[in-house]
Amino acid sequence: MKIGIVTSKITGETDQLISETTARLKAEGVVLAGIAKVLSDEAAGDHHCDMDIRVLPDGPEIRITQALGEGASGCRLNPAGIAEAVAQVEQSGIAGAGLFVLNKFGPQEAEGRGFCDAIATALEHDIPVLVGVGKGSSAALESFVDGMGDVLEPEGEAIYAWCKRVMAHD
């Protein structure tokens, strides 16, 4: 198994590192599958909970969060948005990709749903997986990969170098 795990203690850095790495690889012609967060400027005072992802390599952007209304204090994933993203990734095809990317192994995946089957499909096809994870789901990811993942430094060049190294061995 070739799984690179990215995590950072700095809010938003994991998404940024993964999105920048996927953009760099795509520019080099690497065929990508999976999803990456769409990076956007957020207004001052904004709640910073809206999350849009892009289905790789050129798929649609999908909002995977839902508005809870004025005064709400928590972020809420939208299960329908995640299901749509999963379906789009599976329809786009994983076989033949040079790298499968999941910007965040989150609560859905921690419960065995979300992108778990897509990750398994990538690994069955010997496609390396680059995945981000936050503190809340790190134990579930650790269990899912069963000690077979490489924890990567949260630094752009280290992540890029890992991707190039594991893709070169295919």
* φ, ψ of residue 102 in degrees (nearest 5): -130, 115
If 0-12 CB within 10 Å is exposed, 13-18 middle and 19+ buried, where does residue 35 land? buried
CATH architecture of the domain with residue range 3-40+51-67+76-145+156-168: 3-Layer(aba) Sandwich (3.40)
Q: Name the average pLDDT for the chain.
A: 89
Task: Write the CA distances from 46 to 50, 73, 78, 127, integer angstroms.
Answer: 9, 12, 19, 38
Average pLDDT over residues 2-24: 95
Q: Is the pLDDT of residue 45 over 50?
A: no
Q: Is the pLDDT of residue 141 over 80?
A: yes
Q: pLDDT tens digits, residue range 81-97?
A: 999 999 999 998 898 99
The model carries a pTM of 0.90
Confidence of residue 78 (pLDDT cuts 50, 70, 90): confident
